[in-house]
Structure 1
Amino acid sequence: MANTFSQIYIHIIFAVKGRQHLINVHWENELYKYITGVVKNKGQKLIAINGMPDHIHILIGMKPDCRLAELVREIKKSSSNFVREKHLSKFKFQWQEGYAAFSYAQSNLERVIMYISNQKEHHKNRSFESEYKDFLLKFQIEHKENFMLD
């Protein structure tokens, strides 16, 4: 076959270091636009992005030659620098070290996009810790709860 065809969808979740509530509603869209640019500059497709003051969800269409760990590292490093250089937060802004990443089929994308889009409503009734733990259980990812979030 002459060409490579793929369909890889990854839902990435990571939190502000210490789960501090540092992402302000007044500048979160600026942060999301910046992250969208980072993802596009890395040759990937950002499908959905949203979050809460203490964490973020990103859904990407990923090419097979992309290294997920490198992409997430660049998103976190660049966006942390962006927040600091723009003086968007009066506190030291930093992402947690780890992240979660889950793959989805095309048939699930609409549901995942809606879930990401409705973060503010969703978290009126549910904590980030509870949500994160349920993702790990749903995807059968082994974890130690005391090391789950830093």
Structure 2
Amino acid sequence: MSLPLNALYHCSYSIYFHLVACTKYRRKCITQPMLNRLREIFAETLQKWEGELIEFNGEADHVHLLMSVNPKVQPSKLVNNLKTVSSRLIRKEFAEHLVKVYRGKPVFWSRSYCIISCGGAPLAVLTQYIQQQAKIE
């Protein structure tokens, strides 16, 4: 799959991240309706950050997001906002289910997460390309 090049006024870019977020204590509490709602929440939140949700899926205790972002975004702040907004809304909309899992504590996501940059050419190809640039004399 060829990844498109996006543009702002002063730059062109192609920035993709793979994010993995786990539930607090890795509790298997995500249901299919919750997964569907999380997809909506993440897509809407990323749109506000001028990004896009490319792919999304998950299991009972974690989710995976493939997202496109622009260069103005600080990844740690984006992840914090994605987790905060989704936790607040999921805890509100699925309170009856989650109160049993977390005994009324206002938690949903674990503090930790994994974010990996992805897309474009492999590092070996980029390294070779840079090494083959013409020498300045």
TM-score greater than 0.5 by the shorter chain = yes
Counterpart of 1:72, as a letter, is V
Q: List, as ranges, runs of 4+ consecutive aligned residues in structure 1 with deviation greater than 4 Å.
A: none
Which range moves more in the overlay, 24-33 or 58-67? 24-33
| 1:23 alignment partner in structure 2 | 30
Give per-residue Cα distances to partners, 1:95-133, cap 9 Å, x unaligned.
01011111112368xxxxxxxxxxxxxxxxxxxxxxxxx
Which range moves more in the overlay, 97-106 or 15-24? 97-106
| 2:113 alignment partner in structure 1 | 99
| 2:58 alignment partner in structure 1 | 51
- Scaled by the length of structure 2, the TM-score of the pair is 0.71
Q: Distance in 1 between matches of 2:57 and 2:88?
A: 19
Which range moves more in the overlay, 82-91 or 11-20? 82-91
Please list, as runs of the form range in 1=range in 2, the aligned pairs for 1:58-77 lying within 5 A after superposition.
58-77=65-84
Larger CA Rg, structure 1 vs 2: 2
Gaps of 5+ in 1: 109-150
Matched residues, number: 107
Q: Which has the higher strand share?
A: 2
2:12 to 2, 5, 13: 5
Query: SS of the counterpart of 2:20?
Result: strand
CA RMSD of aligned residues (A): 1.7
- Scaled by the length of structure 1, the TM-score of the pair is 0.65
